[in-house]
């Protein structure tokens, strides 16, 4: 694939975190490309650098984290050279993100509806009344019953699965080209997880969104991803089409990841 038809192209990305006793190399020389409309999974054990890559793409690394090398091209735009003001227009609109802990992503003192409406007002310039009406439509789209009632609730009044549906609604409200889903279901029980993943990938197909799916679970990769990159200690150890990587891993680390969930993967 050449870079022209990739929606996201990450080349030689390296990220360090500064620590009292020196720098931690969290991501080293990572390169991958995501084709439009496809699902690309980053898989690897805890601490291997998955979230760091997501935060680097969105330029949301905090003060301690620094991109020390590489390029990130999104839809032909060099994200690392953009002014923060330009980046803000892309974040939450053209690239959106779903996080692992839905509860932590909401502000407890505002209703769910006002938090969806806020994103719509920010990126689409609508007034509050229209944005709230759109919020009801969005909640219908993510299969929430009685959305008129739900928009008046506070985050703690909803279950984890419901909140994750609301977060998907917010992530998709501006029709992003790229959705980054960082362990979107790891805080949910297995039955709820399957429902949320079904919803996410149905909406992806409907709207032709590209997805960067971050997970530690090779079973989810097997079921949902077109392409996969396997990470270990900050580096990608192998990548390619999901089926060929999971069926014939050339790397012993990939083999050990798969063995951990043996019997749970359908290939
Ligand atoms: N703010 C930070 N300051 C210092 N080091 C950090 C910071 N955030 C992450 N790290 C370190 O960077 C490395 C990569 O962390 P990262 O959170 O990207 O991993 P991950 O693959 O997302 O893990 P998990 O599966 O547990 O979410 C780890 O060694 C981690 O300890
Ligand atoms: Mg993480």
Cα–Cα distance, 110 to 222 (Å, whole number): 38
231 Cα to the center of ligand 2, angstroms? 12
- What mean pLDDT is reported for the chain? 91
Query: Ligand 1, closest atom to CA 27?
Result: 14
CB 4 within 8 A of CB 21: no
pLDDT at 4: 60
Which ligand has the minimum distance to the alpha carbon of residue 231? 1
Cα–Cα distance, 241 to 227 (Å, whole number): 4
pLDDT at 265: 62
Residues with CB under 6 A from ligand 1: 17, 19, 24, 26, 44, 46-52, 62, 64-65, 216
148 Cα to the center of ligand 2, angstroms? 34
Confidence of residue 186 (pLDDT cuts 50, 70, 90): confident
52 Cα to the center of ligand 2, angstroms? 7
User: Considering the chain, what percentage of its residues have pLDDT values greater than 90?
Assistant: 67
Show the CA angle centred on residue 213, arms to residues 207 and 214, nearest 5°.
160
Query: Ligand 1, closest atom to CA 18?
Result: 4
List the one residue out of 38, 42, 39 whose CA is nearest residue 182.
42
3-state secondary structure of 95: strand
pLDDT at 17: 96
Mutate to test the pocket of ligand 1, among 23, 41, 49 (most ligand atoms within 8 A of CB): 49
Give yes or no for residue 261 having a pLDDT over 90. Answer: no
7 Cα to the center of ligand 2, angstroms? 22
The answer to whether the predicted template modeling score (pTM) of the entire model surpasses 0.85 is yes
**CB-based burial label for 195 (10 Å; 0-12, 13-18, 19+):** middle
From atom 3 of ligand 1, which residue's Cα is the shortest distance away? 17
- Structure-token match 């917010």, residue found: 170
CB 102 within 8 A of CB 180: no
From atom 27 of ligand 1, which residue's Cα is the shortest distance away? 46
Confidence of residue 267 (pLDDT cuts 50, 70, 90): low
């Amino acid at each position: 694939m050449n870079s022209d038809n990739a929606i996201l192209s990450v080349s030689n990305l390296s990220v360090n975190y500064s620590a009292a006793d020196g720098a931690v190399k969290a991501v080293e020389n990572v390169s991958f490309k995501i084709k439009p409309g496809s699902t690309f999974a980053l898989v690897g054990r805890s601490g291997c650098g998955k979230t760091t890559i997501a935060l680097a793409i969105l330029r949301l690394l905090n003060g301690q984290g620094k991109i020390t090398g590489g390029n990130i091209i999104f839809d032909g735009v060099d994200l690392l050279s953009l002014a923060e003001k330009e980046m803000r227009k892309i974040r939450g609109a053209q690239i959106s993100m779903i996080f692992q802990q839905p509860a932590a992503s909401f502000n407890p003192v505002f209703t769910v509806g006002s938090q969806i409406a806020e994103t719509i007002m920010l990126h689409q310039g609508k007034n509050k009344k229209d944005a709230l009406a759109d919020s009801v439509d969005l909640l219908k789209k993510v299969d929430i019953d009685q959305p008129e009632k739900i928009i008046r609730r506070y985050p703690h009044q909803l279950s984890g699965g419901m909140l994750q549906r609301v977060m998907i609604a917010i992530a998709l409200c501006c029709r992003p080209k790229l959705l980054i889903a960082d362990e979107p279901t790891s805080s949910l029980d297995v039955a709820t997880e399957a429902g949320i993943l079904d919803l996410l990938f149905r909406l992806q197909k409907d709207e032709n969104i590209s997805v960067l799916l971050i997970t530690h679970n090779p079973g989810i990769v097997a079921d949902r991803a077109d392409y996969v990159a396997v990470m270990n200690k900050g580096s990608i150890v192998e990548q390619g089409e999901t089926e060929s990587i999971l069926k014939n891993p050339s790397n012993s680390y990939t083999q050990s990841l798969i063995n951990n969930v043996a019997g749970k993967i359908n290939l």
